[in-house]
Amino acid sequence: MTNLQQQFENHYRVITSAGFLQRQGLANEVPFFISTFSADQQVEAEGLVNSLFMRLQTQGVDVLKIDLFEFCLELLEQQGVLEDYLAMESQIKKADLKDALVGALSVQDKIAPAIARKLAEQNWKVLFLCGVGRAYPILRTHTVLSNLQSIVVSQPTVLFFPGRYTFVDGSGASLDLFGNLNEERYYRAFNLNNYQLQQSQ
């Protein structure tokens, strides 16, 4: 069993626990958790996320899984502009295309409300967010989490993040996508990797 496989095995034990599902010990904290892995493990992690999703479903833990990259494509398609942006890709500078997409996929105005609608349409106990690496730089992780804080308040959210979520005394927590791209500060999430170690002691 690889280290990453062991990590996801621990995730399974934590997520199926009554304490996790009932938010025990979180007080008034937002129930956000981040599972980190290195950028070169993205393919393996994608398979493990899918396996974890299926295992939880069979155990009666209803999980809503949202791939943020695929979600963005769906929103563009719903707006009737996906083909336009695909055509623009070879005609304009990447920076200009990125700016256009960031405007069309505003987290506050488009992404967060669409996620809220999806949450309201389904029965779920845990929310999985993945596809972060592929959605960059159109979506920034800290922006997504900040906008979901008022939407996902009563049930756990797990974000699968290809990078580091580190805590430094005096400066708070930092999200480092791919291990070297600092996405700015984000303070409200728990590191699921550490949480599972605490649970196993």
Strand partners, 182: 176
* pTM reported for the whole predicted model: 0.90
Return the structure tokens found at 63. Answer: 């999980």
Instruction: Give the per-residue pLDDT at 159.
Output: 97
* pLDDT, tens only, 56-111: 999 999 999 999 999 999 999 999 989 988 888 888 888 888 888 998 999 999 99
Contact 200, 188 (CB under 8 A): no
pLDDT in tens, 115-139: 999 999 999 999 999 999 999 989 9
User: What letter represents residue 180's amino acid?
Assistant: N
What are the structural domain ranges in the chain? Answer: 3-13+30-200
Alpha carbon distances (Å) from 148 to 30, 144, 156, 193: 10, 6, 12, 21
Instruction: Identify whether the C-beta of residue 4 lies closer than 8 Å to the C-beta of residue 162.
Output: no
**Which residue reads 């990447």 in tokens?**
94
Q: Mean pLDDT for the chain?
A: 88
The average pLDDT across 33-55 equals: 96
